[in-house]
Amino acid sequence: MPVGDSFVLPGAEAGPLSAGQRTELTRLVEQARQICGYAFAIWIGPLAEGHDSAVAQHAGLPYASSSILVAVDPAAHRIEIVTGTTVARVLDDRTCEFAALAMKSCFVANDLVGGIREGVTLLAEHSRHPRVLHLDSPS
């Protein structure tokens, strides 16, 4: 069951993003929410305090305990993934590191949106709740 809304954070510096790319990212976070049930948010812009800036952005989300924030500072070549307490039970640090690595490989090829797509999709797939056949199948 989906929790909260997923979105590209307002006020994030889009930088080189076109309106179509922002729409694609908005669609991406909605699809990720449908896959795993957790809310996703994307921040693209400066992270002046590094990880602390990302944690502060995450804390401001409506359902922070059930949310995943992917924060990217393209100028500083920095990626931060912050998970809420509920999400952290199913999404470990190793998976987040793997998602960041997948994103970096796309960023090297100057594909910001593709990198975010790879990372968010990987996070959603790995935080998906396992199906329980006797509960998930119709009677």
* Strands 39-44 vs 7-8: parallel, antiparallel or unpaired: parallel
2 pLDDT exceeds 50? no
Length of the chain: 139
What is d(CA 93, CA 126) in angstroms, rounded to the nearest whole number?
Answer: 12
What is the pLDDT at residue 1? Answer: 31
State the DSSP H helix or E strand holding residue 44, giving kind and residue range, or none if neither.
Answer: strand 39-44
What is d(CA 34, CA 39) in angstroms, rounded to the nearest whole number?
Answer: 9
**Residues whose CB falls within 8 Å of the CB of residue 38, separated by 6 or more in sequence, listed in order:** 3, 32, 66, 67, 68, 84, 86, 87, 124, 127
Half-sphere exposure of 19 (CA within 13 A, CB side): 0
Question: 127 and 96 in contact (C-beta within 8 Å)?
Answer: no
**Helices 112-126 & 93-108, crossing angle to 10 degrees?**
160
Q: pLDDT (tens digit, 9 = 90+) per residue, 86-128?
A: 999 999 999 999 999 999 999 999 999 999 999 999 999 999 8
**70 by DSSP, 3-state: which?**
strand
For the domain spanning 7-129, the CATH number is: 3.10.310.50
What is the pLDDT at residue 16? Answer: 65
139 pLDDT exceeds 60? no
What is d(CA 105, CA 103) in angstroms, rounded to the nearest whole number?
Answer: 5
